[in-house]
Structure 1
């Protein structure tokens, strides 16, 4: 038996009036997921523990069977694992986004945050800008590391785990009251605007109609992580397929192999088919039992507040990942199970994450059920299946305990 998790990041949502009260998942044309739902178990699962922030970090840990209350030490330390930073016990890792703040004559504290991803900036452009910041602000105490797209890293020697606000939580808001109370971090953010706003890369971006990547933004501070081996816990040898440093870092910590897919970039136009085929190859041609396919696009479109593009991302996920995986696994004549789900909701109306339960679906190629539902939030709720502790879903998926 082979096991595949297909995760559409931020895919869950709330009913949208423009969609006649349907959610984007309910409205989208998803024939593969709906067909699977009729012979699967569906339900709701709470991936965010009570009292914890609704992030992809805590949620994906839970989906992989790690209790966030036990294993979570912060988001950025997991990303540090992906980048290859060898943290000391005294180090604090902090996410360093390159964001867009308003280009005006107002003091930095009075500017508004426009875009948490700077028009989904390329890693190449972002690296040039981060090197400019690094040249002026890096010291023996703070070190900058390039990640992917807008997502980068600061390591603060003997620092503090200070309270910091995710930029995607305050889109469209004046930033003053959300800046760090810690002066070192705040001063670097202010100086970064002076370094970046008129940088040649941003001058060219503005000419092309792209948002300037004109400020760094710190959030997600944490200490060195320690995850148990996924293989030792679950007796499954696995791979991770994701374009996002957070997921790659979780994989490093858990001992899963990261598979790099050309053209996989975490955007709406990522290489969906390449991700699907990489998983199938690992499971059918190589010595792996488990694959985790992470697709970032629905979450990014949710943060952008783009209803049309979020629906498109969900439809791409259905047609270009799930359908491909199912057809190829069937063709290989290998018994397999699929777990299809989001990690958390990213409602279009809010443009940020929430802690609400998310719909899951478990399909077993050897045990076909006959149901009358579709895969969406409403039918998952109506199924009556509900798991309060999200980290328990993995063992139930692997052990086939809730197939009914």
Structure 2
């Protein structure tokens, strides 16, 4: 069997007045996804357990069949795995966004989608001046155990290297807030709390003065552009231990994504990763390139998974029109060529679903069920003819809890 999984991140939404009281999935022209619904079945699954934040880290872990109660340790450790960073038993990874905060309001959690080159230069300065320069804001011994690690654009890491005598000061009780859930809101009450929070808050505060003087920010300010005002630290955790897909199902997969979180989950699951030129993790990503790479990967791998961040980014910006456009691009350039391959085979199945809902109205992730559609070998067709939230709820097919869905997709009849 061959399995294709497509994840249009955050595409589930609510009816929007700007779209004629339709959801983006309902407003978008999605002929291939609707054809898959007509050939197979739709349903709902909930990847955001109420005891966890409604974030992509938990949601994608659930989507891939891992119970977060057993395996989730934090978002940053997953992203660390994407870059090959090995965490020891006393180490910790913390997610580090470069953000724009003005008058205590989270103006932009991406610092205007800062380039990787600019982000790297800024974090290099923070390593030198804040962690390596005997800065008064942080204890020298603690600073010597910390390092900012550049990632892609605004998505970066802070790594703590501990030992038996100096274990990580950050524990599962350390509470932080995801910056993408604070867009246009005050951050005054959302700084870290609990064990190690004094260190994180000190770093966040001390970064303001250093970054304000950085040449890149000086140039951006002179040009009237948003600046990266400071780092925002969140999503801390120690090393997770996930059994691989080969161990669980005897299957080898590959991930196609531009986001370190999904790269990290793939690494932990024992999957290969394919990098596509022009894949940005944003609305301007190379949709056709991702579709082409996925089609070419089917013969080599048992599972081909394509993740597209664009719908989620559109939601975080409150742009329903951009979300509709992203979904139409996904349908045309990714879903369509893969569906053509699935239809030609008698030993293949396809599954499409987002990780979590992301509402354009609130610009943030939310808990709740998401619609899925699957078709192909062994999948019994239902009465649905469209892929959207209403059709999925009406079908009566429910996967609860959400992490049980993947095993049923891989082993069951839909």
TM-score, normalised to structure 1's length?
A: 0.93
| Structure 2: stretches of 5+ with no match in the other structure | 132-142, 163-167
CA-CA distance at 1:355 after TM superposition: 0.9
Distance of 1:69 and 1:208 partners within structure 2: 47
Give 1:154-165 correspondences, 5 Å limit: 154-156=158-160, 157=162, 158-161=168-171, 162-165=174-177
Please name the residue that 1:295 is paired with. Answer: 308
| Structure 1: stretches of 5+ with no match in the other structure | 103-109
Please name the residue that 1:119 is paired with. Answer: 112
User: Which deviations, in whole Å up to 9, do the C-alpha atoms of 1:102-124 show, x marking residues without a partner?
Assistant: 2xxxxxxx521101112222211
- Which one is further off, 205-214 or 267-276? 205-214
Match among 245, 254, 268 for residue 260 of structure 2:
245
Please name the residue that 1:171 is paired with. Answer: 183
Distance of 1:241 and 1:123 partners within structure 2: 19
User: Is the 1:280–1:329 contact (alpha carbons within 8 Å) kept by the matching residues of 2?
Assistant: no
SS in 2 for 1:279: helix
Distance of 1:225 and 1:348 partners within structure 2: 32
SS in 2 for 1:250: helix
Structure 1 residue 153 corresponds to structure 2 residue 166:
no
Please name the residue that 1:135 is paired with. Answer: 128
User: Is the 1:118–1:150 contact (alpha carbons within 8 Å) kept by the matching residues of 2?
Assistant: yes
- Which one is further off, 216-225 or 175-184? 175-184
Please name the residue that 2:229 is paired with. Answer: 214
- Which one is further off, 307-316 or 351-360? 307-316
User: Which deviations, in whole Å up to 9, do the C-alpha atoms of 1:133-176 show, x marking residues without a partner?
Assistant: 11112231211111111110011232212111111111112222
Please name the residue that 1:106 is paired with. Answer: none
Structure 1 residue 233 corresponds to structure 2 residue 237:
no
**Aligned-residue CA RMSD in angstroms?**
1.7
Give 1:254-293 correspondences, 5 Å limit: 254-284=269-299, 286=300, 288-293=301-306
Distance 1:230 1:28, change over 3 A: same
Distance of 2:398 and 2:98 partners within structure 1: 38
Structure 1 residue 184 corresponds to structure 2 residue 184:
no
- Which one is further off, 51-60 or 181-190? 181-190
User: Is the 1:39–1:371 contact (alpha carbons within 8 Å) kept by the matching residues of 2?
Assistant: no
User: Is the 1:82–1:246 contact (alpha carbons within 8 Å) kept by the matching residues of 2?
Assistant: yes
Please name the residue that 1:105 is paired with. Answer: none
User: Is the 2:19–2:320 contact (alpha carbons within 8 Å) kept by the matching residues of 1?
Assistant: no
Give 1:306-317 correspondences, 5 Å limit: 306-317=319-330
Please name the residue that 2:366 is paired with. Answer: 354
CA-CA distance at 1:132 after TM superposition: 1.5
TM-score, normalised to structure 2's length?
A: 0.91
Give 1:60-75 correspondences, 5 Å limit: 60-75=60-75
User: Which deviations, in whole Å up to 9, do the C-alpha atoms of 1:382-404 show, x marking residues without a partner?
Assistant: 111111211111111112333xx
Distance 1:372 1:186, change over 3 A: closer
Structure 1 residue 35 corresponds to structure 2 residue 35:
yes
CA-CA distance at 1:217 after TM superposition: 0.1
Give 1:20-99 correspondences, 5 Å limit: 20-99=20-99
CA-CA distance at 1:324 after TM superposition: 2.0
User: Is the 1:91–1:159 contact (alpha carbons within 8 Å) kept by the matching residues of 2?
Assistant: no
User: Is the 1:90–1:159 contact (alpha carbons within 8 Å) kept by the matching residues of 2?
Assistant: no
- Which one is further off, 146-155 or 176-185? 176-185
User: Is the 1:42–1:360 contact (alpha carbons within 8 Å) kept by the matching residues of 2?
Assistant: yes
CA-CA distance at 1:207 after TM superposition: 5.2
SS in 2 for 1:178: coil
Distance 1:168 1:387, change over 3 A: same
Distance of 1:163 and 1:322 partners within structure 2: 38
Match among 387, 391, 400 for residue 403 of structure 2:
391
CA-CA distance at 1:208 after TM superposition: 5.2
CA-CA distance at 1:58 after TM superposition: 0.9
